[in-house]
Structure 1
Amino acid sequence: MTCICIGPVCIPIYSVLPFLAMFFMKIWAWISGKPADDKKTDGASSGQASTAVSENLRKRKGGPANVITMESTAQWKEHLALSSDAKPLIVDFTATWCGPCKRIAPLFAELSGKFPDAMFVKVDVDELDDVMGACGVRAMPTFQVYKNEKKVDEVVGADSSKLEAMVARHAL
């Protein structure tokens, strides 16, 4: 078998050929002045299509699209300001490396479908550590409920029965 060896790593020549073919196709397209991606569209832009898909996901009960992931501190403050007695803000403080967070995430998404009158948001503590500090989060996962911009309840840990009871208590 013919191989290309670079140091201690040997790669079969047959796995390099598809890469080279794709590379030369892009170069040929660039030399000939044609765009490399001549994709035919059906009139809808990809942005419109993705918006339609996300709207359909939001309508689906129990889907993960009912949980909004906080991207910035400003977004967090906007959602916190929207919290009220009638529309509580239920927050999942989580981390990508946290095993218990991953295990309880499907339940949190399911609860967001069962209680549509509440806002369910997810805060990644590694990305928004200032929000984590302001909310007094010391362990993951931590679930908090806010009404009128004030914390009214909290569950620390991946205890599904406590989480369900807290959400039922405040989201009805």
Structure 2
Amino acid sequence: MKRKFLEDLGLEKEQIDKILDEASADLGRVKGELEKARDDLKVANKTIDDIKAKTTDNDKLQAELEDYKAKYEASEAERVKQAKNHAVMDALKDAKAKDLDYMAYKLGEVEMDENGQIKDLENRIKDLTEAYPSHFEVNEPAGEPSGGQQQGSNGYKTLDTDLPKGDPSGTQSLEAQINAALGI
């Protein structure tokens, strides 16, 4: 709005000054809002450009995501396999299997239930002990062990060799033992 336009309308100088001051204030506020809108537009355009740049590699990101997903699934499958293996080996140890690996092989593939336990493991191991009794240690009844064996205090069984008993005290010297052996 121009001053001449207002003068031609017949307004006095004071009125024209007030109108122009008010219009100037409004114009300043509108210019500020316009600058803010321009700044916001710049930020929005930059954000759009950044998103466009990131989404151009979307195939690469998707491939990377699939790779991580495959690695996770493989490690989860390995964890389940190890959990099965440990549970089977522990159960075979408890059943006193002599060759854990062979008995695990004979047990075959096992399945886990929803609680993370192996399905029907006790019955399957019982079947193994019946099918392969020589592969499991058997608890002998109390009394004399079979086959001329004697149970030692350390849990080992010693065989009776039927050899003559020597001097258990170890008091006979080596020289005396050699002389006795040579008949001197």
TM-score band by shorter chain is under 0.3
TM-score (norm 1): 0.21
TM-score (norm 2): 0.20
Query: Greater strand percent: which structure?
Result: 1
